[in-house]
Amino acid sequence: EAFNLIAFTETLIEEFEDLKKVGQTINLQCKLTSIKVFLDVKLLKHIIYNLVSNAIKYSEEHQDININITIKNQLVCIEIKDKGIGIPTEDQNNMFQRFYRANNASNIQGTGLGLNIVKQYTELMDGTINFKSKINEGSIFYIEFPLNQKQNE
């Protein structure tokens, strides 16, 4: 079923009211007001929910989270960026393994399952996931999905 990805994301952001730390804002940055997509809503919701939850959890109070949605070469790209603890270089190759947790996350609660599930769901939707991260500076996770051809008919 087709839906507007921008409106969907705006609504999803409201669900983080209780999870957010003091002074954290989740900003949606997008030049477009509507992007019609034919994606699996349930899977997409899990994916964004997990990534934004991580961004909140691995950031401090007053550190904002930015979501950016762009379209390029028939791909829709969703970026989730935080200014949190970051991921140490030596852990970065293992982030999508089940139960893997980075060294600097040991005193923050988690099971290490979220990202593994996010990757599986992204691939089920013919998408890809990548990230860039720097310890003590922050992380940015990118998910990309092909825009359905129907979009342009």
DSSP state of 98: T
Taking the C-alpha atoms of residue 140 and residue 55, their distance in angstroms, rounded to an integer, is: 9
| Binds ligand ATP by CB under 6 A, chosen from 2, 7, 19, 113 | 113
Name the segment binding ligand ATP (CB under 6 A); options: 17-25, 27-35, 84-92, 121-129. 84-92
What sign has the CA pseudo-torsion 131, 7, 62, 19?
negative
User: What character string, x for contact with Mg ion (CB under 5 A) and - otherwise, covers 111-130?
Assistant: ---x----------------
Strand-pairing partners, residue 142, are: 79, 130
Q: Is 54 in the site for ligand ATP (CB under 6 A)?
A: yes
Kindly list the residues in this chain that would bind ligand ATP in the complex (CB under 6 A): 54-55, 58, 82, 84-87, 95, 100-102, 105, 110-116, 139
